[in-house]
A and B are shown apart, each in its own frame.
Chain A
Amino acid sequence: MKLRIFRVVTLIAAGAFFLVPIGAMFEFSTRGVGENSPRTLANWKAILDFPELVGPLTPNSSGIIASLELAAITSIATLVVLVPTMVWVRLRLPRLRRVIESISLLPLTIPAIVLVVGFWPMYQWMGINFNDSILTLTFAYIILVLPYAYRALDAGLAAIDVKTLSEAARSLGAGWPTVMWRVIVPNISSALLNASLLSVALVLGEYTIANNLLYPNLQVEIVSLARTNAGVSIAVAVASLLFAFGLLVGLSFVGSGPRRQRARVRERLVQTFGRDLSGGTR
């Protein structure tokens, strides 16, 4: 009983810790202009009137779209780089695991502003010789999300016998791309989702690097907007928080049991009809 009360109290306290500031922000964003004015969604409606937030993606105006694109590209690029590397290290260079792990943790120990100092000359060069699109921030963000994505993927790979599964697939005739795509990836889908969630959340909330490298992502635009219209700025902040929260909850449900559900359905069909009517191989 005491434990239950403790759990409830902890849940309420944690909920309050997260929800009270968001509630306060929402309250602020819906205030009317005058002291006794009624509640209004004017600030929320005005979000669409700011092209720097929701306008088309150009080198100088981006906002929400840019951050969403950065989140998508960063999480995909991180997985494309990290998963084969980590699998290869586990299979062929197990002694390097600790080294790779240490390197992947470095971005956590280096302050963002120090990273910016390091990135600055590289981005200057890229701007002149390659491209100065805001999407080039992906390179910096891949480094930024590395520790979180590495941890998530490492936990996923530790949960399966990568060596035996890949050797079994190889002995059956699978090349390395097939091993990765058809054997490893489906078995670490939860880890891939977790890594993606962390990457998306981190990129959507990133301010320091974008601001100092002079790229206007969502957070930079929110801060900039706050100087001219605090109400809209707070509305955008709440909206982006809720969006990120919704995205994370949504992603966490993806792939969390269709296999078991299918297995249960098959079992029931077999029990009922004496054979499987649910189709063949996937």
Chain B
Amino acid sequence: MTAAAGTGGRTGVEVRLEDLRRRYAGVTALDGLNLTMAPGELVALLGPSGCGKTTALRLLAGLEEADGGRVVIAGEDVTNVPANKREIGMVFQAYSLFPHMTAMQNVEFGMQLHDVGAAERRKRAGDMLELVGLSAHVHKYANQLSGGQQQRVALARALAIEPKVLLLDEPLSALDARVRARLRDEIRRVQLEVGTTTLFVTHDQEEALAIADRVGVMNAGRIEQLGPPTTIYSRPATPFVAEFVGLTNRLAGTVKGGEVEVRGTRLPLVKPDTADGPAIALVRPEAVTMAADGDIIPGPMVGTVIATVFLGATSRVTVDLGDITVLAQLPTSDATSLTAGTRVRLAMRRDPVLIARDEKASTEA
């Protein structure tokens, strides 16, 4: 875990969500959520729609009331403190600039409410807009700015009040892919620069894995796994995390003696104490290797390439094994000869795999 120290003269604070509960008309949105964020840390909450990630963020912001649990910021219980007294900066999914104000006035707004003097306010607003690269657009209204520029002004506005915590509620989801990638990196740069403890909510795994110190994968109102991006991807704690983050092959096999046998290959288990019996092994595409040279003798791991997708440095190859299809991710240099119709022999790297029970084998893309 990285606890980024603020280089902008600010230091982040610790944030704790303790056993947070929230129900909407009989539906559980948060089911005892616990999360501790270290000072200056950027935590991303990742999960499918309806998993409770936005609810968690709104409870932290004070925009909704919890049915149970506590919100603690810098050691102070703020569960019953109204939103405007929590000293939290927030960037919303929808464009939230005040349309009747210029970019500069938007950034100054929060500082006016915090009684910052006019000269200091203008200086700080100018600095913030410079920080997000919008010095040339300070006198423009929201309708004169692009979506990416609006979100950058919103970020500057949120940071200008020097909040204890910065909340980002899917701020990039309305932007096109190129702007999104650029702004994502900018958000991270700015966050590291100011050192504010930040909670970033997204349903985009690439975004979460790229930007966060730690990622919390949420499902049904709880965090299924919380850890650094590399751990989340390479050592998923539950089948849900394995399947939600990245691509996974679901291959039928049999657990026996702390290992699982899949199509003639024995693989170690993430949880060696898994009970013996039929199971579904979750195997990452990059753990699948293949060979197309020599004599290809028919067998359970021999099949035909049906598609190769170029992804840049790597390529994704889909192989039909007769009863199922398997995805493999290879360096593009190894995949160039694997055109559709090529006979190949697959092998699986002996990475520990997770087990999902009671479902039919299939390939999940």
Chain A positions near chain B (C-beta within 8 angstroms):
160-161, 164-165, 167-175, 178, 182-183, 186-187, 259, 263, 266-267, 270, 276, 280-282
Contact = CB atoms under 8 A, between A and B. Distances in A.
Given A164-B94, A167-B83, A171-B90, A259 B109 contact: no
Interface in B52-111: 61-63, 82-85, 87-90, 92, 94-96, 98-100, 102, 104-105, 108-110
Interface stretch (B36-44, B136-144, B273-281): B136-144
B297 interface: no
Contact of B99 (A172, A182, A187, A266): A187
B161 A173 contact: yes
B94 A172 contact: no
A161 B144 CA distance: 18
Contact of B141 (A178, A263, A276): A263
B294 to A, nearest CB: 62
A263 B84 contact: no
Consensus secondary structure, chain A interface: helix
A263 B87 CA distance: 32
13 contacts: A167-B92, A167-B96, A171-B61, A171-B84, A172-B84, A172-B113, A174-B84, A175-B84, A178-B113, A186-B98, A187-B100, A263-B140, A267-B139
A168 B96 contact: yes
- Residue from the set B95, B100, B104 with the largest chain A CB neighbour count within 10 Å: B100
B330 to A, nearest CB: 45
Contacts of B90: 167-168, 171
Contacts of B105: 281-282
A165 B97 CA distance: 7
Contacts of B144: 263
Contacts of A175: 84
Contacts of B348: none
B114 interface: yes
B63 A281 contact: no
B158 interface: yes
Consensus secondary structure, chain B interface: mixed
Contacts of B266: none
B238 to A, nearest CB: 33
Interface of B: 61-63, 82-85, 87-90, 92, 94-96, 98-100, 102, 104-105, 108-110, 113-114, 118, 122, 138-141, 144, 154, 157-158, 161, 167
B139 A266 contact: yes
A276 B158 CA distance: 24
Nearest to A275: B139
B109 A160 contact: no
Contact of A171 (B89, B94, B98, B118): B89
A282 B98 CA distance: 13
A22 B114 CA distance: 57
A170 B96 CA distance: 12
B96 A172 contact: no
B96 A187 contact: no
B84 A170 contact: yes
Contact of A259 (B83, B84, B85, B141): B141
A172 B63 contact: no
A270 B61 CA distance: 38
Contacts of B109: 169, 172, 174, 182
A33 B92 CA distance: 73
A45 B294 CA distance: 113
B139 A270 contact: yes
- Residue from the set B82, B84, B113, B140 with the largest chain A CB neighbour count within 10 Å: B84
Nearest to A163: B94
Contacts of A263: 102, 139-141, 144
Contact of B104 (A160, A183, A281): A281
B113 A187 contact: no
A161 B104 contact: no
A244 B140 CA distance: 37
A264 to B, nearest CB: 10
B356 to A, nearest CB: 39
A161 B96 contact: yes
A87 to B, nearest CB: 15
Given A170-B63, A183-B98, A164 B92 contact: yes
A107 B96 CA distance: 36
Given A170-B84, A171-B89, A164 B139 contact: no
Contacts of A282: 105
B140 to A, nearest CB: 7
A169 B61 CA distance: 12
A259 B94 CA distance: 23
A183 B92 CA distance: 16
Contacts of B95: 161, 164
A165 B100 contact: no
